[in-house]
Structure 1
Amino acid sequence: MKNIGFKNNVKQAGLYLGLLSLLIVPSSCDQSFLDTDPQGKQAGTVFWQNEGDATKAVNAMYANLRGWNNTAFAAIALESVGSDDAEKGSTPSDATFFNDYDNFSVGSGDGQLGGFWSGQYQNINYANQVLDNIPAISMDETLKARYLAEAKFIRAYSYFRLVRAFGDVPLRLKLPKDATEYNIPRTPKAEVYAAIEKDLTEAAAVLPLSYGSSDIGRATKGAALSLHAKVSMYQQKWQQVFDLTTQVISSGQYSLFPNYEALFRVANENSTESIFEIQNELLPNNKDVSNSQYSQVQGVRGVTGGGWGFNTPTTALANAYEAGDPRRDATIIFRGETTPSGDAIPAVGDNPMYNQKSYVPFALYTTGFNEGSQQNVRVLRYAEVLLMNAEAANELGNSAQALISLELVRARARGTSKTILPKVTPTDKAALRTAIWNERHVELAMEFDRYFDVIRQGRGEAVFGSKGWKAGKNEVWPIPQNEIDLSAGVLVQNPGY
């Protein structure tokens, strides 16, 4: 269900944050950029006065999630092309830096590292501003508590993306009070994970199960519980994963959307399967709101309404599906096909395949706007909750429950397919684990999880070794060299880089 009101407001709020909207880089000492006074923005010194200011600040926090460094090149580089599911795409000479992530030769000076780092710390900075400033505002106390919980969710989400990409990262839970607090060292990842879990526990205790139509897209209790389960899964806290996913399943708030392919179309955003999505919109009279490039950078290259053609599926991914699995054609746009939306894809072009999950039908293109700017980014889906529940149940020795949750996902995928996907039946823990991992692979393909899934499973060398991946080094990416330089050595590089 589309909700233009919330989507519009989350962007408009960014115009009011003024100086407070600028990034506070955790390691940087040089704050000369603060001297610039952005025109048309409300000065930070007169902000944080009332409930309206609080609302604008929270909405601006959400708006930042859809920015370039959160959803475009940096995210593709660090969260997708290193996997066996995706490669650079586009033309061979365009954005060749992606190849360095694909073959694990990237150095610490590459700009996408800094972009990803900055994007996450911008989100954290927005959240910290909310958490530090809203408590003193005289406003509705229930709304205040909810806003603080939403900020904790966003902060936890960004720290999760950071810790799985870099390992130890600077942990900043308060705005710096003076220049001495800007330059802080990396915090051990165990402490970062503990902070993430604390934020999510506190957020889940306050956030509502659902919202009215004017607030669809905000973080819910289910979003906090689901992200907490995912964070716990990366730490192999299997009982916690099982308990948290069981809470989400038992809440009755979610169900699998019947049509897997249609699930990812614009008309079905924020569906019954959606747990959290980054909200994007195309408003013909407002280009500032219509700024997402998530779909544009991955769209079919060389056609009007398509895109740039980056982050393309691999042959290995195409071959990973069982015969008759409709998720294959719902995930991959092949050259020469006609999409379910009626777009004829030219048989000849730069790339043989494109990401169908980020695809927006060409007829929805508006001249002068980014292609596909109305496409939301699916961050957490109910299908993943079921698969986390299955994996945790299996690790705890409860194969019966694992098979129940796994079958729900396969049954939806099976749908009306002429070739029926068989039920998974083995109860042996190792065999069932493999089956669940395979299901995650095809169910969540091209959703920016495969790379980190393989690493957390301890299979990095087995799956990515032929691409150049090395144990003891490539579990994490290098810390951006610019951040190390700005810190005067307070930040130290990851081993091997």
Structure 2
Amino acid sequence: MKKWFLYIFLGTAATCTVSSCGEDFLEQDPLVQQTASNFFETEEQAIEATNAVYFMLRDWSVHVFSYIGLTDIHSDDAVKGSTPNDAAFLRELDDYTYDQFNIAFGGVWSGYYRGIRRANEVIDKVPRANINDDLGQRLVGEAKFLRAYFYFFLVRGFGGVPLLTGPTISAEGITRATEAQVLDQIEQDLIDAAAVLPEKSEYPSTELGRATRGAALGFLAKVYLWRDNYDDALTTAEQVINSGEYSLAPDFAMIFRVAGEHGSGSIFEVSATSSQVGHGQGGGGSQFNQVQGVRGNPNLGWGFNWPSPELEASFDPQDPRRDATILYVGEELPDGSAVIVDNPNLEGERYNQKAWVSEQINQGAAEGNIRLLRLADILLVAAEAANELNQTGKAQMYLNMVRQRARGGDMDILPDVTTSDQAQLRTAIWNERRWELAMEQQRWFDLKSQGRLEEAMRAVGKTNFDPTRHIYWPIPQQEVDLTGGDLSQNDGWN
């Protein structure tokens, strides 16, 4: 069965709100008895269908195991972690010995295209439903934003991918669009979304986590920077910066605690709650934190995705962000609920402090939102674009705003960057991205955008990296086979 094309986009997950499931969840009629053709008849159904797209953001195949493997572990910022023989497919990503059959590629392909399929149904059906025009436009805007988000991940990793913008039920005739065509569609979706979505402050607190105008513009700025369109990247980033909707939270470490969720610097994050019902089962939880949580003592997670020694060494020793990013043996969990005791089965044990599990909650589907876009990221997008446009003063200003927050009022550390040399300033901005966004699944894409993947992998001893094969991920072989070869494979993987 061509499962990612035939996937029934509405399931029990569609009854969930963006943040969690309501108490009436078990009283709902089973949605599997309904079809896309007869579902979009009321405002409630249109909202539920849109919520089903958001639900994919907590799904195992979108933002959990394969996701951290293809981002952090695949880069120089992290190593696989856990015990040596656990999750061999992640070890292959870590040391670049994988092939087109590695389950990580098939996992994210399936998950992200399920999200796209759900978004396409909303975009197609909601305008024809009998609902309030303003609400309908907003829901379509949310779906376009989410479709753009899913495609932006896919195109940066795989290059050109099938560009599906309407309901699709068959793999027949599916081929790859060019990378430029996919990016063009992403841009248009984000432009459309920004035109109709509310600002963050215009949503009630119960709706935090929905797509906003700022989120659409923020990702649009990142797309422009990815395409070396520095003028539009700077202009769009500054729309977010100057909107009055966001500010840098004064305490960097607090951003990654429960109290920091949807904080002043948060532009887009995935809401998750502690729940006995985990990924793919209709619950509000996510296993994103669980797979990275402390393994063994206390037993709060699976212990994958360790910050690398090279990442640790790259920080200024006085930079508070280092200790707010790396959780060491002997250290308390950020909420003080437990102290990490050395696990004798693990060598080089350390953890991602931006994704942790408290001893006080159920770890099966742990709370802890997934931060996808922060103001600091957009400030550094603006700094990079401004530097490439020879607007040195503006580049310095945005870069130093991030450094000023990082130093936390201690004027003896992290001095402002004052160089006016474009190459030196570019390096300073790239370094700042690494330190500010470490372990937030940004590094591999940043290195690729900067043209430094081979250099970085060689520097950390990943000698299997081959620039003729590893700049793009292989298309999952099972997807090539499903189309009878119509879906072409990336170079070096046939």
Q: Same fold (TM over 0.5)?
A: yes
Which shifted more, 288-297 or 78-87?
A: 288-297
Partner of 1:255: 247
Task: State the Cα RMSD in Å.
Answer: 2.2
- Spell out, residue by residue over 1:288-339, the C-alpha distance to the aligned partner (whole angstroms, 9 max, x if none): 4243100000001113462000111110011010121000000000112224
Q: 278, 299, 313: which one pairs with 2:293?
A: 299
Partner of 2:195: 205
Partner of 1:173: 165
- Spell out, residue by residue over 1:364-416, the C-alpha distance to the aligned partner (whole angstroms, 9 max, x if none): x23xx515x21110000000010001000000000100111011100110004
Q: 474, 477, 485: which one pairs with 1:481?
A: 477
- Check conservation: 2:157, 2:473, Cα contact below 8 A: yes
Cα separation, 2, equivalents of 1:379 and 1:285: 23
The answer to whether 1:344 aligns with 2:356 is no
Q: 441, 454, 458: which one pairs with 1:448?
A: 441
Tell me the matched-pair count. Answer: 468
Q: 321, 332, 357: which one pairs with 1:360?
A: 357
Which shifted more, 215-224 or 103-112?
A: 103-112
* SS in structure 1 of the partner of residue 19 of structure 2: helix
- Check conservation: 1:86, 1:312, Cα contact below 8 A: yes
Shift of 1:111: 1.2
- Check conservation: 1:9, 1:59, Cα contact below 8 A: no
Q: 1:5 to 1:495 in 2, by over 3 A?
A: closer
Cα separation, 2, equivalents of 1:494 and 1:234: 20
Cα separation, 2, equivalents of 1:54 and 1:11: 19
Q: 46, 50, 54: which one pairs with 1:62?
A: 54
Q: 165, 168, 185: which one pairs with 2:175?
A: 185
* 2:192 alignment partner AA: E
Cα separation, 2, equivalents of 1:133 and 1:290: 26
- Check conservation: 1:266, 1:360, Cα contact below 8 A: no
Shift of 1:419: 4.9
- Check conservation: 1:83, 1:102, Cα contact below 8 A: yes
Shift of 1:46: 3.4
Where do residues 369-448 of structure 1 align in structure 2 (5 Å cutoff)? 370=364, 373-417=366-410, 419-448=412-441
Q: 1:374 to 1:267 in 2, by over 3 A?
A: same
Q: 464, 484, 491: which one pairs with 2:487?
A: 491
Q: 1:17 to 1:92 in 2, by over 3 A?
A: farther
Shift of 1:423: 1.2
- Spell out, residue by residue over 1:141-196, the C-alpha distance to the aligned partner (whole angstroms, 9 max, x if none): 000000000000000000000000100100000113x64x7431000000000000
Which shifted more, 351-360 or 317-326?
A: 351-360
- Check conservation: 2:277, 2:283, Cα contact below 8 A: no
* SS in structure 2 of the partner of residue 323 of structure 1: coil
Which shifted more, 156-165 or 342-351?
A: 342-351
Structure 2-normalised TM-score? 0.90
The answer to whether 1:114 aligns with 2:106 is yes
Q: 1:5 to 1:443 in 2, by over 3 A?
A: same
- Check conservation: 1:128, 1:175, Cα contact below 8 A: yes
- Check conservation: 2:305, 2:351, Cα contact below 8 A: yes
Cα separation, 1, equivalents of 2:87 and 2:378: 35
* 1:345 alignment partner AA: I
- Spell out, residue by residue over 1:116-137, the C-alpha distance to the aligned partner (whole angstroms, 9 max, x if none): 1011101101100101111111
Which shifted more, 10-19 or 330-339?
A: 10-19
Give % identity.
43
Q: 222, 227, 235: which one pairs with 2:227?
A: 235
Cα separation, 1, equivalents of 2:276 and 2:61: 24
Which shifted more, 475-484 or 346-355?
A: 346-355
* SS in structure 2 of the partner of residue 168 of structure 1: coil
* 1:183 alignment partner AA: G
* 1:236 alignment partner AA: D
Cα separation, 2, equivalents of 1:482 and 1:222: 37
Shift of 1:11: 11
Unaligned ranges ≥5, structure 1: 20-37
Q: 1:459 to 1:405 in 2, by over 3 A?
A: same
Structure 1-normalised TM-score? 0.90
Shift of 1:73: 1.3
The answer to whether 1:99 aligns with 2:101 is no
The answer to whether 1:472 aligns with 2:462 is no
- Check conservation: 2:19, 2:208, Cα contact below 8 A: no
Cα separation, 2, equivalents of 1:147 and 1:199: 13
* 2:43 alignment partner AA: E
* 1:266 alignment partner AA: V
Q: 1:193 to 1:201 in 2, by over 3 A?
A: same
Cα separation, 2, equivalents of 1:125 and 1:18: 20
